[in-house]
Amino acid sequence: MVKEEKNIKNNVYESIIVGGGPAGLTAGLYLSRYRVNTLLIEKGISGGQVNLSETIENYPGFPEGIIGPELMQRFEEQATKFGLKIVNSTVLEISQEQHENKTNFKISTTDRDFYSKSVIIASGGEASKLGVPGEIELTGRGVSYCGTCDGAFFRDKEIVVVGGGDTALEEALFLTKYASKVTIVHRRDELRGSKILQERVFNNPKINLKWSNIVLSIDGKTQVESLQLKNVKTGEIITFSCQGVFIFAGYKPIYPSLGELKERLVNDSGYIITDDNMETEIKGIFACGDVRAKSLRQVVTACGEGATAAFSVELFLK
C-alpha cells in the first residue's frame, strides 16, 4: 500500500491506472520506465481473470505453459521494480474536475479520492450469468464459474459445462482431472472455441457433448441435483442429472461509474471504444485489455494494448 501525501488535491498523479490485470500492469511497467508519476488501483489481488487460469499455454516464452497467478505475480514484481505504485481499493467513479484552471480526473474509491492528469481504464471483465432459475441460489452449491477454483470439489462426480467458447472447452478439459464425466451443453450444433481445443475435447473419452440445448433451470434442494434442458431444434425438454454446473457463457466488461462521460466512451455492448492508440474520445482517458471493444481477449493482446496505452499517455502528457 502506498503512503499518500496529506494535501490530496495538490497531489495530482500524471496517470492513474484502474485495474491490475495484464493490461494495467503492463501499462504500469511502461509508464514507470517512462518516469511518469503513476498510481495503479486494483480492487483485489493483481492479475484479474488470469488468476482463475490453471495454466496459460499461449503466452509466448513459456513453452511448457505457466500457472496464471504465477505469471501475474511476475508482472507485478517487474512493474513495482521500476517504481509502479499500487494501492488496493475499489474504484467507484471516474469523473472530470476543474482545479486551478486545469481539468483533472477524479478517481473516487471506497477509501478516498485520487486525482490525475490522465486515466487508463484497464478494469477487465467477468463471466456472464445464464439468468435461469436456480443459478444464483445454487452458486457455491454446485454452480460455479471457475473450474480451477472449484474443480477439486467434484472428484468422481458428473458435471455439466455450459458454453462452447474457448473458456468452456479449456475448463471442460481441465475438469476431467476430477469429474467422472463432463457433459458440454451448447446451444448450437457447432462450437465457437478454437480448433485445437475442439480436437482435444472430441478426443477426450470423459467428455460428451449435448448439442443444441439450452438450460431452462438448475434444480436441487441444497445442492445441484439436475438441470432442465431444452433441445432448441426439437423442443424436447429433459431432466438431466448432475452434481455440478460450470457456466462459461461469455464475458462482460467491468468498469466503475463513468457518470456523464459514459455516453462518449462505451458502445452498445457496453465495451469501451478506443482507437489503435488506446485513446478514447475523451482526451486524457485511455483504455486497454478486456474492457475494450475488440475481437481477441488474450493475455498477450492485453499486454500489447497496455504498452500502447502507456506510450499514448506519455505523448498526451508532453
- Our finding on whether 304 is near ligand NAP (CB under 6 A) is no
Task: Report the nearest approach of ligand NAP to the CB of residue 85 (Å).
Answer: 30
- Our finding on whether 106 is near ligand NAP (CB under 6 A) is no
Q: Write 98-107 long-range contacts (CB < 8 A, 24+).
A: 99/9, 99/12, 103/284, 104/12, 105/16, 105/284, 105/285, 107/16, 107/18, 107/41
Count of Cβ atoms closer than 10 Å to residue 309 Cβ: 31
User: What is the rounded distance in angstroms from the CA atom of residue 59 to the CA atom of residue 77?
Assistant: 18
- Grid cell in block for residue 88: 488496493
Task: Report the nearest approach of ligand NAP to the CB of residue 45 (Å).
Answer: 20
> Which one, 46 or 148, has the nearer CB to ligand NAP?
148
- Grid cell in block for residue 290: 478486456
Query: Judging by beta carbons within 10 Å of its beta carbon (0-12, 13-18, 19+), is residue 294 exposed, middle or buried?
Result: middle
> Which one, 82 or 251, has the nearer CB to ligand NAP?
251
Instruction: Tell which one of 43, 106, 157, 192 touches ligand NAP (CB under 6 A).
Output: 192
- Grid cell in block for residue 108: 473516487
Question: Which one of 70-78, 137-145, 159-167, 252-260 is the stretch in contact with ligand NAP (CB under 6 A)?
Answer: 159-167
Question: Which one of 140-148, 233-241, 253-261, 291-299 is the stretch in contact with ligand NAP (CB under 6 A)?
Answer: 291-299
Instruction: Tell which one of 151, 165, 253, 306 touches ligand NAP (CB under 6 A).
Output: 165
- Our finding on whether 167 is near ligand NAP (CB under 6 A) is yes
- Our finding on whether 151 is near ligand NAP (CB under 6 A) is no
To which residue does cell 429433459 refer? 238
Query: Which parts of this chain interact with ligand NAP (CB under 6 A)?
Result: 58, 130, 162-168, 170, 187-188, 192, 214, 248-251, 296-298
